Amino acid sequence: MTGGSLWSAIPLLALPVALYNGAVLLAVEGGFDSPGAPERLAEPVFSVPMASGALWTLGFGDLLVIAALAVLFLELLKSTSSRGAAVVNQGLSMALFIVCLVEFLLLRAFATSSFFLILLMVLLDVLAGFVVSITAARRESGGLG
């Protein structure tokens, strides 16, 4: 694997997961098992006044979900390539999903809606990788698809 293909093998969704982990460690006392993490991550980062008079506020967790959606889009585009790095990316994406699932189930700081949505995006990435791989294999073997 060359240097360029090594970078393409790394799941992009690891970035929002790493940012969430870093935010929990830096922003909350008690680290990963802190009961105050949901409140700290929901604190408004900025607000936007709406035409209706309402105030739309976004917390750090919300911003991470928005960033993760953009990264998921890029990851889905990347999964359509049938290079050798795609197999490594698929394995690393599965490992990332397992790590996220363990964090969500066992650590208080990760039992938030924001992290759950990121977890679902990682799962969708894993499933999309499998579907794309199966479809590509069918086409290459002359089967249906």
H/E stretch holding 46 reads: strand 44-49
Q: What is the pLDDT of residue 63?
A: 93
> What is the pLDDT averaged over residues 11-26?
92
**Any alpha helices (H) in 2-112, and if so which ranges?**
3-9, 14-27, 37-42, 60-79, 85-106
Q: Please return the burial class of 131, using the count of CB atoms within 10 Å of its CB with bins 0-12, 13-18 and 19+.
A: exposed
Tokens of 12: 């992009």
- Return the DSSP state at 107: -
Instruction: Report d(CA 130, CA 54) in Å as an integer.
Output: 43
pLDDT higher than 60, residue 90: yes
Q: What is the pTM of this model?
A: 0.84
